[in-house]
């Protein structure tokens, strides 16, 4: 089989790229190693930058998001019982959208199926060949049958553990990584959110985040040890610890209930350079990971998709390879700024095991500076709502 673009990975970044290309008459196939049901069962962040919202509209899949998503014009930062608001709208004239990644993925699957686009699920033994030539191809097995896709380009949207990054020779790629000495214990509960905006809370006991999926579905997190297991935490223990870390006014009004999902996520910063090798392009987690602080994972994948889509469109419409030739440089310039913001925000509100009394004073001074300085708030707001593509 021949396709213009082979996309490895049927998550939101691969599906978004496929749908954008379809809208402009560029054929693609999506290869996913799991089932559709498995992909839709994954619980991920739900804060969308304005740039991703615009891409969803451009792909023709933004209607439900615009109808059911919750626009957030600001967020709350607290330390102990001291809390203040960062006003995105006043500082940047922009906002973010709270709309679950699962719902983004569901909308993209619906659009792909309605368009008759090809998705092969439960693929195995995926290998990439000829990426450094003018005739790249992807080979894989599906239902025990060997298959091959000859194509013009390959988009590796298959995540941190996928095959795409590994296809780039070790003497070509360089990887940068920082592992954080804690994780996030998160629960999902069918309870109303404690506040209509997100609360990022720092405390002497560690970090906490109050988030939501909709008016009756809340997502809460607390910083925990990487040696912890979800089953070590009862629901009652989680709620008690959360209340200790958020301002008293919110702890007093928190509605608790049984968790319907509970998991622990490690925190990592990771970047692979370059993000292009020949006709293979890395997108999203295949190329970079950010801590969940600030919800930049999906949004940074979307910025990669934007650059790659524009480059492929320029190539097919105008015969101009400038966009694909500069893809890695464009994407990485934004990736490193997002990595910086996620690292800074994580450092601002987490408790690190090796912090000295001086470090703790500096952390508190940084929070106080942010609370009292409009320029600092504007810089944070600009990064939170999303840097321009």
**Residues forming the active site:** 72, 200, 292, 296, 384
Contact between 224 and 369 under an 8 Å Cβ cutoff? The reply is no
Q: Is 175 left (phi over 0), alpha (psi -120 to 50) or beta?
A: beta
Report d(CA 370, CA 355) in Å as an integer. Answer: 20
DSSP for 178-241 reads EEEEEEEEEEEESS--SSSS-EEEE-TT--EEEEEEETTEEEEEEEE-TT--GGGS-HHHHHHH
Give every CB contact of residue 197 below 8 A, 6+ residues apart in sequence: 72, 74, 75, 76, 85
Q: What are phi and psi of 225, to 5 degrees?
A: -75, 145
> 3-class DSSP state for residue 137?
strand
Angle of the 327-349 helix axis to the 357-372 helix axis, nearest 10: 110
**Cα separation of 282 and 12, whole Å?**
14
Question: Measured between alpha carbons, how far is 164 from 113 in angstroms, rounded to an integer?
Answer: 25
Give how far Cα 50 sits from Cα of 43, 108, 258, 338, 387, Å: 21, 18, 33, 15, 9
Q: Give residues with Cβ within 8 angstroms of 96, minimum separation 6.
A: 47, 48, 49, 50, 71, 72, 88, 384, 385, 386
Token pair of 362 as six digits: 């500096």
């Amino acid at each position: 089989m021949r396709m213009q673009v082979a996309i490895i990975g049927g998550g939101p970044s691969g599906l978004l790229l496929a749908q954008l290309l379809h809208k402009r008459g560029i054929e693609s196939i999506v290869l996913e190693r799991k089932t559709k049901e498995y992909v839709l069962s994954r619980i991920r962040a739900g804060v969308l930058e304005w740039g991703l919202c615009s891409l969803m509209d451009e792909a023709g899949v933004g209607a439900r998001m615009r109808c059911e998503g919750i626009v957030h014009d600001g967020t709350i930062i607290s330390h102990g019982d001291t809390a203040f608001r960062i006003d995105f709208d006043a500082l940047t004239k922009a906002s973010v959208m709270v709309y679950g990644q699962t719902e983004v993925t569901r909308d993209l699957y619906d659009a792909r199926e309605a368009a008759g686009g090809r998705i092969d699920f439960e693929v195995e033994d995926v290998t990439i060949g000829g990426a450094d030539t003018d005739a790249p191809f992807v080979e894989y097995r599906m239902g025990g049958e060997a298959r091959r896709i000859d194509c013009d380009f390959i988009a590796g949207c298959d995540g941190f553990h996928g095959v795409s990054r590994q296809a780039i020779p070790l003497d070509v790629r360089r990887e940068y990584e920082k592992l954080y000495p804690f994780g996030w214990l998160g629960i999902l509960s069918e309870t109303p959110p404690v506040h209509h905006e997100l609360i990022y809370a720092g405390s002497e006991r560690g970090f906490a985040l109050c988030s939501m999926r909709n008016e009756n579905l809340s997502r809460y997190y607390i910083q925990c040890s990487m040696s912890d297991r979800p089953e070590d935490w009862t629901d009652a223990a989680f709620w008690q610890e959360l209340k200790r870390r958020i301002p008293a006014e919110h702890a007093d009004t928190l509605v608790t209930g049984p968790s319907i999902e509970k998991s622990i996520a490690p925190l990592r910063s990771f970047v692979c350079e370059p993000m292009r090798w020949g006709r293979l392009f890395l997108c999203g987690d295949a190329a970079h990971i950010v801590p969940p602080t600030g919800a930049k994972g999906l949004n940074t994948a979307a910025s990669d998709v934007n650059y790659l889509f524009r480059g492929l469109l320029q190539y097919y419409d105008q015969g101009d390879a400038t966009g694909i030739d500069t893809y890695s440089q464009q994407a990485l310039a934004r990736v490193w700024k997002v990595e910086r913001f996620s690292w800074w925000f994580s450092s601002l509100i987490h408790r690190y095991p090796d912090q000295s009394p001086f470090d703790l004073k500096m952390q508190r001074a940084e929070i106080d500076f942010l609370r009292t300085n409009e320029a600092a708030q504007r810089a944070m707001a600009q990064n939170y709502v999303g840097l321009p593509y």
